[in-house]
Amino acid sequence: MKAVLEEIAPPAPAGQKLVRRFVFVLLVFLAALVGSLAGLLLVYSTDLPQIEQLETYCPSSSTDLYDIHGRVIGSFALQRRVVASYGDFPNPLLNALISVEDKEFYRHWGINVWRIAGAAYRDIESRGKVQGASTLTMQLARNLFLSPDRSFHRKIQEALLAIQIERRFSKEQILTLYANQIYLGHGVYGFEAASEFYFSKPAKQLTVPEAALIAGLPKSPALYSPINHPDRALHRRNLVINGMLEDGKITTQQAEQARNAPLGLKLARDPNSLGPYFVEEVRRYLENKYGTDQVHEGGLKVYTTLDMDLQRAANSAVLDALAAYERRHGWRGHLENILAEGQMLAGYQHPDRDNIDVGAYTHALVISVSPASVTLKLGHYQVTLTQADIGWTRQKLAVLLSAGDIVYVKVLALEGSKASVGFEQDSGAQGALLAIDNATGGIRAMVGGRDFELSQFNRATQALRQVGSSFKPYVYTAAIDQGARPDDPISDTPVSFQTPSGPYSPHNYDEKYEGAITLQRALAQSRNIPALKLADRLGIRTVEDYARKFGITSPLPPYLPVALGAAEMTLLEQTSAYTVFPNDGIRVVPRMITKVEDYDGRVLEENYPEVKDVISSRTARLMTAMLQGVVQHGTAIAASKMNIPLGGKTGTTNDFTDAWFVGFSPSLTSGVWIGFDEKKSLGPKETGARAALPAWVQFMSAALAGKDPGQFQPPPELPPRQSLQSLDTSDLAPAADESH
């Protein structure tokens, strides 16, 4: 039987047995390998994010603030990003990106196996971890869902996610997600934001060398920063251009021209820098109402009442007025010196180093000093000062300045690497300006101090300062509203008032007395005695009640000196209150925001003017005419040169601590305050007319230039006078017993 079987099936050769065993072992190994890989994939995929999230993915984006003309004036963001669509990215940018980051992007299915294998071999050979070889889709997966750590575990998850992304989304969708998500240095995310930041234009307008520069940044934004490392950035850009040439995306001539082009950076200014105090007020409001996360990540659109043109004029007006004040009082010295503080000249940067535009006031560093000239460093610019440039200080150049000094300058011109400046002084004097549209209550301009980078305290909205004679219009309003006339006589003679703390014997600013004068003249010349006599007759609480009607909310102590402005209030309160006069007795509540929209364009809030009746139109028109007299022939006569309808009131406090001017045209009301934060004297004769009024005139001249100024409503005709009795003993009804 055995022989028969052997004859039918002869024994297999030894070689075949060996092959069978090898195949069996190989199959077992492959099965084990597949099982292990399946197990590993199961382990690595158990905690993978759900790709479905991408269908509703909304990247963290900036909240933008717009002025009344639709121009961006500020933004809030944890990640500075402008979300764009696929059509917003030009072909040179997409071609550059694919050439340098993922040449097989349109052909692979999420991963490039051969590229990964080659990179893995090199890493194993060098005993490093897996790195490089990521496709654009893998980079997107990492940026969206995974940590940046470099490990085999993360790499496998990255590949799995990339495959899922490729199965669910088109190549255009993947590129769009990537182009909006990638980090490109200096807090900028996405190509659209990068184009606006580095070149101050939308991505659609990028040239080939500009597109190549941006496309080269994802590999290492810090290493190839064109701001901090221009040589590296230039080398990286040219590598990208070479890659585009190799891939046939550009011609040899285009590549040659692109490689020879300079970096051509035109860095965008921080949009918050024009009106930083206003932007900060808006931020506080938004965060209080919508929360920090929504404001900094939700991509809100905030439409504000600010006018960039008026804001720019306001900035210049305040800083120019402060510079004029500084020069009037001569050089005071006390410069900060970084060498004395242990710092080095090389690499030093002042906090306001980015504020380098023609017309800007900023700080510069003294690099070297010689008897004939001084060299300053102003950002990336070099400045040379001569003795003529510091003539107003009446000091010798070599005595005045030393290497390491921080000096205050006004930028006059910029050309190449050179700058021309005016030598100024910052002794600590501060200023604030606020402008409000009479018809809508919209705040058109807000200056809260000399330099936001050095002090964020807003002197327009937060500082409580004595208002001096700018309070007097409330006294006269109360009198006019209760039957007095602008042409009523009142006695400007010495007087003493009995108060609970003893006799109070006030005096006029000039220590002179004019005898019987009209209310009109008493207000125009800012006579103290008539204002006090009126307030005493009316009752100081009556005056306080009128001030409250005008929107004054700060504490007003019931003492007679309040009639002369001994009370403290904010510039916002005072400026808003004055809008009542040109508005025919109606106050429009000041506002900063007209509308807020969410990321999808849904309106979250919309604000309309809120109006309140304050005084009768008769009283408002009479007071407007009286306040016009202040400009036409009173303490603010310097404003009359504008030759348009204007009214307002100066204010000066004891010892010249605070200087005010608040005034209005038919369309716009603005107020200016000048003083020191520590409430020390500005110096002799630094009145509201001298210190504050010039800033107001400069601002209003710019704000109203080329516009129809309008006309005030004419005051009502008054009946013929029946008596010339002085208001010292008039029939104005006094309030019951009041303490002054």
Token pair recorded at residue 580: 């009542």
Distance of CA 539 to the CA centre of its chain: 45
- The label of the residue with tokens 């001017």 reads 661
For residues 82 and 594, what is the distance between their CA atoms, to the nearest angstrom? 23
What's the burial of 311, exposed, middle or buried (CB within 10 Å: 0-12/13-18/19+)? buried
- Is residue 402 annotated as a catalytic residue, yes or no? no
> What is the dihedral angle through the alpha carbons of 463, 466, 471, 472, rounded to the nearest 10 degrees?
-170
Contact 277, 446 (CB under 8 A): yes
Question: What letter would DSSP give residue 689?
Answer: I
Beta pairing partners, 433: 447, 672
Distance of CA 52 to the CA centre of its chain: 38
For residues 568 and 555, what is the distance between their CA atoms, to the nearest angstrom? 7
Nearest alpha carbon to residue 147 among 222, 47, 227, 219: 47
Token pair recorded at residue 269: 């200014």
Contact 235, 226 (CB under 8 A): no
Contact 438, 664 (CB under 8 A): yes
In angstroms, the Cα distances linking 562 to 56, 480, 543, 565 are: 61, 19, 9, 5
Contact 530, 506 (CB under 8 A): no
Contact 45, 55 (CB under 8 A): no
H or E segment and range at residue 650 = strand 647-652
Contact 546, 567 (CB under 8 A): no
In 3-state terms, what secondary structure has residue 302? strand
Contact 116, 137 (CB under 8 A): no
In 3-state terms, what secondary structure has residue 318? helix
Token pair recorded at residue 620: 């408002």
In angstroms, the Cα distances linking 687 to 318, 325, 424, 635 are: 16, 11, 22, 10
For residues 488 and 649, what is the distance between their CA atoms, to the nearest angstrom? 20
**Could you tell me where the beta strands, DSSP code E, fall in 241-331?**
301-304
Contact 414, 358 (CB under 8 A): yes
For residues 440 and 492, what is the distance between their CA atoms, to the nearest angstrom? 39
Amino acid letter for position 371: P
- Is residue 670 annotated as a catalytic residue, yes or no? no
CB atoms closer than 10 angstroms to residue 406? 15
Of the listed 99, 273, 469, 470, which one is catalytic?
Answer: 469
Strands 497-499, 593-597: pairing kind = unpaired
Nearest alpha carbon to residue 543 among 526, 529, 560: 560
In angstroms, the Cα distances linking 328 to 113, 239, 321, 322, 324 are: 76, 58, 11, 10, 6
Nearest alpha carbon to residue 322 among 673, 727, 714, 709: 673
Nearest alpha carbon to residue 712 among 613, 532, 582: 582
Contact 472, 564 (CB under 8 A): yes
For residues 304 and 607, what is the distance between their CA atoms, to the nearest angstrom? 10
Token pair recorded at residue 277: 């105090």
Contact 406, 352 (CB under 8 A): no
Contacts of 273 (CB under 8 A, 6+ apart): 354, 355, 452
Of the listed 101, 196, 573, 686, which one is catalytic?
Answer: 101
Instruction: Return the active site residues.
Output: 101, 469
